[in-house]
Amino acid sequence: MGSKQVIFSAVQPSGKLTLGNYIGVISHWSNMQKMYNCMYSIADLHAITVKQEKKVLKKQVLDTLAMYLAAGIHPKSSIIFLQSEVKEHCQLYWILNCCTYFGELMRMTQFKSKSKINTKNVNIGLFSYPVLMAADILLYQSDKVLIGKDQIQHIELVRNITRRINFLYGKIMKTPEVYIPNLYSAKIMSLLNPMHKMSKSDVNKNNVIFLLDSIQCIVKKITQAVTDSGNKIFYDVYKKAGISNLLNIYSSLTGVSISELEVMFEKTTYKDFKFLVAKIVSKKLYQLQEKFYYFRNKELYLRDILNDGACVAKMKAQKTIDRIYHAIGI
């Protein structure tokens, strides 16, 4: 492993993973494994800002892990672990809370929108959610953080917290960089409301393709996706948000560039185009689902991966915590 840079990424095990999670983040993870030391976490502590059912949460952790494996992440090449199994995340979280300002967290757009949606449960966990992300990242001295576009503001905050703690206590932390593999596809939008991101918590499930949706369901959702009153297929996120989103999806899953697609589909009707997008998505997700079920049935194997991952992660995390405690004087 040696001198390779460390890359960190994580997904919450709340709800079912979506095509947005896959295209924006998870599909890039396997390619990182040769060049980087990869730390891929399942962020279950982040998931409990909303009350979770115990059994469902436990099931979703294994679902998420099986999906990581289906996407080509290999436990011998990457460290895959459950966040809550490395208790140092909470230790560092507290220290970082003491170096984060109320005003900074108030400015987080995700906090603002989530607290507006769920006014009855604006808890402190939701408020300081990005500080726990900072702990995740800094515990492993990560060089890069692979995220979707919606998390940029959070990582900018993490960078500020890092600079502050280095200023206060001496240079004890590496300042992580944002890593977005593909700016276009880093944000897949909702199918019926393409000005908003595709979000697993969307109340209208027709907005979202879940990775485990049946082929029938995928075809139905995509062929119903919102387009516009024109009839030409080209990329323009403002005037043609729906079509642009479908072009993004097609391009990310095939590797064909958007400009090539514009030429390819010059004479195609919206209706036919949507069928073609549906075909590409179905094919990709069918392959993914086959692998997913293969791994999901091996529960002992999945638990072993998490145990081994937590052991290695813990060793690294403890070193960081010791260093920080020492620097701070506790």
Helix spans in the chain (H): 19-21, 27-32, 44-47, 54-70, 88-97, 102-106, 109-117, 124-127, 129-139, 152-169, 215-223, 241-254, 258-264, 270-296, 299-328
CA distances, 245 to each of 125, 206, 258 (Å) = 32, 15, 11
Q: Is 240 a catalytic residue?
A: no
CB of 99 to ligand TRP, least distance (A): 17
Per-residue HEC secondary structure of 90-143 comes to HHHHHHHHCCCCHHHHHCCHHHHHHHHHCHHHCCHHHHCHHHHHHHHHHHCCCC
- List the interface residues with ligand TRP, window 138-157 (CB under 6 A): 145, 147, 151
Q: Is 49 in the site for ligand TRP (CB under 6 A)?
A: no
Name every residue whose Cβ is closer than 8 Å to that of residue 205 and which is 6 or more positions away in sequence: none
| Binding range to ligand TRP, per CB under 6 A, among 93-101, 129-137, 181-189, 261-269 | 129-137
* Given 16, 200, 279, 283, the catalytic residue: 200
CB of 175 to ligand TRP, least distance (A): 14
Q: Is 17 in the site for ligand TRP (CB under 6 A)?
A: no
Q: Is 114 a catalytic residue?
A: yes
Among 95, 137, 180, 321, indicate the residue that binds ligand TRP (CB under 6 A): 137
Among 17, 32, 43, 280, indicate the residue that binds ligand TRP (CB under 6 A): 43
CB of 8 to ligand TRP, least distance (A): 6
Q: Which H helix or E strand runs over 7?
A: strand 6-11
Identify which of residues 114 and 274 has a Cβ nearer to ligand TRP in the complex.
114
Q: Is 197 a catalytic residue?
A: yes
Binding site residues, ligand TRP, CB under 6 A: 8-12, 43, 46, 133, 136-137, 145, 147, 151
Q: Which residues are catalytic?
A: 114, 197, 200
